[in-house]
Amino acid sequence: MAILGLAMAAFILAAEAIAMASAASLVTFVFGDSLTEVGNNKYLQYSLARSDYPWYGIDFPGGKATGRFTNGRTIGDMISEKLGIPSPPPYLSLSKYDDALLTGVNYASGGAGILNETGLYFIQRLSFYDQIDCFKKTKESIKAKIGEVAANKLCNEAMYFIGLGRHALTCECSNDYVNNYLQPFLADGQQYTSDEFVELLISTLGKQLSMLYHLGARKVVFHGLGPLGCIPSQRVKSKTGQCLKRVNEYVLEFNSRVKKLIATLNRRFPRAKLTFADTYGDVLDLIDYPTAYGFKISNTSCCNVDTTIGGLCLQNSKLCSNRKDYVFWDAFHPSDAANAVLAEKFFSTLFSGPPSVAPKPSP
């Protein structure tokens, strides 16, 4: 399940003063994996990528699991709090007639990736292609509510966050590595060299971002991968418990290629404002120097997980005594406290342009 994808790519935000003043009118659409999910997978009956059970949510308001893959809030929740708006609800919790569609939706799904085959062993999850299809349906519903012209305007001015990645440091595509290419029993790791695999990811991602553009997305932030080789699920593969250098090299190559792709798409689509959010260094610094941020442990997780059966925090798992001491909650995902540190960093990166206004449904 996604992890460090701390992702959630920095929202494409306007200046803080403008954003705060117009917070009530911000429209945001969120795509991603378990790092940005807020509960879609709990509506998928057969999905194995779920977190709607204890101990997930123990530090979330109300103390109950909501489908977020952490002990508390996601980075997206925290940024929404700063803007004074509620986090966009999970797509699968809404009907096509719901007025909530006008103010933003979260399509993120644990186990998702750029490639359709990523996370296949979770049985059910919404791949990035699936999420784009859900957004297409959302736009049709919005058209039915406020008309085509207003719907196009809303979608053109909305903010799009793509945080497909595992763990607070990455993007959805982290699953393409962690739950696909790096798994010895799956075909892609045997079929492609690392260079061929990153080429497959980039070419597929280019098609997907183009699809979003043609559906109306203009202001898009794509969150890059963090140091996947340093998350607990990967460290356990090292005899010394250190970061896996080879995995981090894959990540750096992927990020480099995505930056070039974003630049190409911005030239191809003059009205596009695609941004690549590179937080690799920030996340690595948090992991390498946890005490500088008020943490004590960054090489293992607060929840004592069994990485041989997935690495998630199960109901019979033993928790650490102080959850605020740990950067990681489970083998993949950051803790609420770590998300707070990262959200602060992301929020400080502001983007120009006024937020879109959420229209009222037609009477």
Q: Which position among 33, 34, 77, 141 bears the catalytic label?
A: 34
Chain centroid offset of residue 117 CA: 18
| Residue written as token pair 């999905």 | 47
* Of 66, 46, 45, 48, nearest in space to 57 by CA: 66
Active site residue 330: yes
Tokens found for residue 276: 């690549």
Beta partners for 19? none
How many angstroms separate the CA atoms of 36 and 145, rounded? 27
Active site residue 285: no
* Of 317, 322, 290, nearest in space to 303 by CA: 317
Q: Give, rounded to a whole angstrom, the gap between the first and last alpha carbons of the chain.
A: 42
Active site residue 223: no
Beta partners for 301? 328
Beta partners for 162? 31, 222
Q: Which position among 176, 278, 330, 336 bears the catalytic label?
A: 330
Q: Which position among 167, 176, 298, 333 bears the catalytic label?
A: 333
* Of 331, 360, 323, nearest in space to 72 by CA: 323
Q: At what angle are helices 194-214 and 128-146 packed, to 10 degrees?
A: 0
How many angstroms separate the CA atoms of 91 and 41, rounded? 10
CA–CA distances in Å: residue 271 to residues 21, 217, 219 = 25, 10, 9
CB 225 within 8 A of CB 174: yes
* Cβ contacts of 80-89, under 8 Å, gap ≥ 24: 80/28, 82/20, 82/343, 82/347, 83/13, 83/19, 83/20, 83/23, 83/26, 84/20, 84/23, 84/24, 85/23, 85/24, 85/26, 85/28, 87/38, 88/28, 88/29, 88/30, 88/38, 89/38
The catalytic residue positions are 34, 330, 333
